Amino acid sequence: MKILIIIPTYNESDNIRAITDAIFAVHPTLEILVVDDNSPDGTGSIVRTLQGENNRIHLLERMGKLGLGTAYCEGFLWAMEGGYEIVFEMDADFSHDPKEIPNFLSAIENADVVLGSRYSRGVNVVNWPMQRLLLSWFANVYTRWITRMPIHDATGGFKCFRTEILRKVNLKRIRSNGYAFQIEMNFKLWRRGARIVEIPIIFVDRRSGVSKMSKNIIWEAAWLVWKLRFAALFGQL
């Protein structure tokens, strides 16, 4: 089976080598695609060095910071062209533990989408300030309430898909980024009948590097859930 882990990066020079090493330590035969947005800290050139050491690492370089959502969509299209059957979304900053990868792979045997969930069994978040945890938790209650999606963690970014199911979504029409992107993908896949399962994961705050969290990211998601709800109502999804 051809498996691809997509890691979008913006200024992850502190993490990129360690995270790719940690992934290969768990699963030596999968492949990794880094989608880098011309990170000023030189993440892209580190990846090029890594490529010289391991031909399972691929790099898609974009001109500048174009956002997480389009980075993933370009990665998904790359995976489709390359004939990968399973694709993952994963962060570079060690918030997502590579040791969970085998659990995703067993869950995807009977699903189209597997979501790593911080909130399916209580709260599994380590080292986040209380304010941020509450924000994330309420964002999920709000999303579930407005969209009616039966998902406990709709904003998480550790996910696994059958590439086939991604063809049901028009990836070129997705404009959202941040948390909104995660919600939009889940909602569209759910409405198109994808079998979605959640598995519990423990989320740890980024190990190093700078946070990219912003107010815009929150507003984008807050509006998006209403847009999705009305788009679905009027058959415009």
Ligand X SMILES: Nc1nc2c(ncn2[C@@H]2O[C@H](COP(=O)(O)OP(=O)(O)OP(=O)(O)O)[C@@H](O)[C@H]2O)c(=O)[nH]1
Query: Which residues of this chain interact with ligand X, rule CB under 6 A?
Result: 7-10, 12, 35-37, 65, 67-68, 71, 91-93, 95, 157, 206, 211-213
Pick one of Mg ion, ligand X, none as the site partner of residue 70 (Cβ within 5 to 8 A by kind): none
Q: Which is nearer to ligand X, 105 or 135 (CB)?
A: 135
Q: Minimum Å distance from CB 7 to ligand X?
A: 6
Answer for the pair 192, 168: CB distance below 8 angstroms, yes or no: yes
Q: Minimum Å distance from CB 100 to ligand X?
A: 16
Side by side, which strands form the sheet with 31-36? 57-61, 31-36, 3-9, 86-89, 159-162, 113-117, 196-200
Q: Minimum Å distance from CB 55 to ligand X?
A: 22
Q: Which is nearer to ligand X, 95 or 117 (CB)?
A: 95
Pick one of ligand X, Mg ion, none as the site partner of residue 75 (Cβ within 5 to 8 A by kind): none
Q: What is the sign of the dihedral through the CA atoms of 232, 197, 156 and 132? A: positive
| Per-position b or e across 29-43, b if 16+ CB within 10 A of its CB | ebbbbbbbbebebeb
Q: Minimum Å distance from CB 93 to ligand X?
A: 5
Q: Cα separation of 67 and 13, whole Å?
A: 18
Q: Which is nearer to ligand X, 60 or 149 (CB)?
A: 60
Q: Which two tokens stand for residue 114?
A: 């597997």
